[in-house]
Amino acid sequence: LWSLLAALVSPGMAGLRMDFGLLLEPLGFIKVLELVFSIFAFATCGGFQGETTLLVSCKGVVNKTVTAAFAYPFRLNTVVFSAPDPKRCGGTWTDVYLVGNFSSSAQFFVTLAVLVFLYCIAALVVYIGYKHVYQQNSKFPLTDLAITVITAFLWLVSTFAWAKALADIKMSTGASMIPGIESCKARGTTCRFASVTSMGTLNVSVVFGLLNMVLWGGNIWFVYKDTNLHNESKRISQSP
């Protein structure tokens, strides 16, 4: 389908027949939804920025706020808390890092969403301007069907991987991280969890991942109907 688009979008735009009515049909309408939902998926995940905060009391310091800022792609093991004071609690406070590297799951999810966005644009150009070419060559509907099946599967894998990573991110930035901080175990030092940025947008990204999975899975049928596989099976069922 990409090679078809490259060949067609050439000087003169030969063969172009604009038909926006296709957007009202299931094949075109679902593709528009896939385009929109892919935007929301990578925007809600890739655009996140937050921080987690502790209250530290140690030598010469009482309830000092220390923060660690984190963001996409969530390499938390590179994020360090600010020191409670210039003297670092009399030398008892060492650099404290968050735990975990969740970049692979996050980047897999966002990269898939971006590629889906680009593919949907290309597919809509073909559907609207070159539907007659698409229908006349049986290879293009079959290619579209294969990509649709693979994409639905990838949405399934990436969404569940990202959902698991998100649960771990919440653990690594929440109150449960305090027992693992060695500096908080030093004599005369206490640490209390203060707050963490709401991760509602990240929860929404998982929801959009599931919606994308459902959309692409349901779209398999409508793309399949345009292939010669469906036409052959229909002829066989109608034969005596």
Domain that holds residue 152: 21-235
Predicted structure pTM score: 0.83
Residue 24 confidence class, pLDDT cut points 50, 70, 90? low
Residue 50 lies in a domain: yes
Residues 6+ apart with CB under 8 A from 196: 50, 51, 52, 53, 173, 174
Q: Is 84 among the domain residues?
A: yes
Residue 4 has pLDDT above 90, yes or no: no
Checking if the pLDDT of 187 tops 50, the result is: yes
| Counted domains in the chain | 1
The predicted-structure confidence for 153-178, as pLDDT tens digits, reads as follows 999 999 999 999 999 999 999 998 99
How far apart CA 232 and CA 152 sit, in angstroms, is: 24
Which residue's entry shows tokens 């579209």? Answer: 144
Does residue 52 form part of some domain?
Answer: yes
User: Is 10 domain-assigned?
Assistant: no
Phi, psi of 135 (to 5 degrees): -80, -30
- The C-alpha angle with vertex 198 and arms to 44 and 84, in degrees rounded to 5, equals 120
pLDDT in the model for residue 118 = 95
**Per-residue pLDDT tens for 94-137?**
899 999 999 999 999 999 999 999 999 998 888 887 776 666 76
Is residue 53 in some structural domain? yes
Q: Residue 119: its pLDDT value, please?
A: 93
Helix or strand run (H / E) with residue 216: helix 200-224
Provide, rounded to the nearest whole percent, the portion of the chain with pLDDT above 90. 53
CA distance 51 to 70: 6
Residue 98 domain flag: yes
Answer yes or no: are the C-beta atoms of 99 and 66 closer than 8 Å: no
Residue 148 inside a domain? The answer is yes
Residue written as tokens 């892919």?
38
Position 143 in a domain = yes
